[in-house]
Structure 1
Amino acid sequence: FSLSNEPLYVVDGVAVEPGPNGTLSWLNPHDVASIEVLKYGASTAIYGVRGANGVIVIKTKGSH
């Protein structure tokens, strides 16, 4: 549980910690199939307290 106001990042169903300034430098942009932003009720309903500040859901092309 974090006291920051950063959103939760989820890549292919796995919560990940972003780098400085929210970067995901290890993720190749060409591999991204979709990005979904969940906020308010939707994020907390699915991810609980961890999603209280919103959730960035990233699916890569290989995950489908």
Structure 2
Amino acid sequence: MSDARCPIDPWLLERLVCPVTRTPLRWDSARQMLVTDAAGLAYPVRDGVPVLLPEAGMPITA
């Protein structure tokens, strides 16, 4: 089982926003991704670096 803790520094996480909607992102430990509820997108984190490109956003499915 993978570590559910956020790999991003809490200070930085508070400042990250979705590149599409400019709304705050939150860490989703189940998906291991950054999520924006406003756009219904999830963004990957690779080697501790958030990939916040509009084309990297994946639609959230239930």
Query: TM-score by structure 1 length?
Result: 0.23
Which has a greater percent of strand? 1
Query: TM-score by structure 2 length?
Result: 0.24
